[in-house]
Amino acid sequence: MEQSVQPAPDPSRRRTLSVLVNAVGATIGGALATLLGVFAVRPGATASRERWLRAGTLDDLIPDVPVPRVVAVPRVDGWYRARARETVFLIWNGARDVTAFSATCTHLGCQVHWDGAAKRLICPCHGGAYDAAGRVIEGPPPRPLDTVATRVDAGSRAVLVRR
């Protein structure tokens, strides 16, 4: 009976195959590491930061009267993105200056509204009241309404608030 002899595998062919398999493994590993790195770092890099939002123009305002304006504030929480509606009161001095404060009561967070007849901001929840400058004049609020930074664009007369 005759036995067939298999030729020994070519060592250079085996080495080439080994290099090729290692290269494919390294490429896949690198791609996965890059992808995981992007997921791990990107939300922190794009975390919520303050920005200037348009809240109207000087033409929308009445001198010395708090005018409510709703702004859509972008919120970023990891990969979750949303726009939160927030009310701010703008008070125009009749010239070029506008001040602003939040409409959120400093007691427990209800939304205050302007009572033009009483010339005060009223909180509907527990009887808190503020004057037109946001100072507490009655009830349980522990501090004035939070101020909001503003600026006026000289060209367009747009009022911007920082949120």
Q: Cα–chain-centroid distance for residue 41?
A: 18
* 111 counts as binding ligand FES under rule CB under 6 A: no
Q: Of residues 118-147, which lie at the interface with ligand FES (CB under 6 A)?
A: 123, 125-126, 128, 139-141
Q: CB-wise, 110 or 158, nearer to ligand FES?
A: 110
**Cβ 110 vs Cβ 122: under 8 Å:** no
Measure the CA–CA gap between 109 and 131, rounded to whole angstroms.
17
Q: Token digits for 118?
A: 């009483």
Q: What one-character DSSP code corresponds to residue 151?
A: E
Interacting residue with ligand FES among 110, 132, 133, 152 (CB under 6 A): 110
Q: CB-wise, 58 or 105, nearer to ligand FES?
A: 105
Q: CB-wise, 54 or 113, nearer to ligand FES?
A: 113
Question: Shortest Cβ distance from residue 86 to ligand FES (Å)?
Answer: 16
Spatial CA neighbour of 106 closest among 140, 64, 58: 140
Question: Shortest Cβ distance from residue 50 to ligand FES (Å)?
Answer: 25
Interacting residue with ligand FES among 53, 67, 86, 107 (CB under 6 A): 107
Measure the CA–CA gap between 91 and 100, rounded to whole angstroms.
6
Spatial CA neighbour of 141 closest among 97, 110, 101, 99: 110
Which residues contact ligand FES (rule: CB under 6 A)? 105, 107-108, 110, 123, 125-126, 128, 139-141
